[in-house]
Amino acid sequence: MLYESLRQILEAICLIEGYKVYSHEAFTYYLNDKQEYKTADLFDKYRRMRNEVNYYGKTISMKNTIKAKKEIKELCILLRNKYLNK
């Protein structure tokens, strides 16, 4: 659920800038183009984690889940404040 919120924030940013993104992976390239390298790396990490859980049934430890929750929330706030609260 948090990953989806992050993805929707990125989609909103892209739409404001005139881009329509059709794949989750493209957001990583978009963030790199904006020189948001750390954000791009974290987004891609959680995109891959989501895919492993949703498509391959991989389990995630409680420790990694708590870390992901914290980092994704922080990314959402960072991106909203930087690109959407103007």
Report which DSSP code applies to 23. S
Q: For 41-80, how does the pLDDT look when each residue is reduced to its tens digit (9 = 90+)?
A: 999 999 999 999 999 999 999 999 999 999 999 999 999 9
Report which DSSP code applies to 35. T
| Cβ atoms of residues 79 and 7 within 8 Å | no
Task: Tell me what the mean pLDDT of segment 11-20 comes to.
Answer: 96
Tell the residue number behind the tokens 């492993």, with chain if given. 52
For the chain, the structural domain boundaries read 2-84
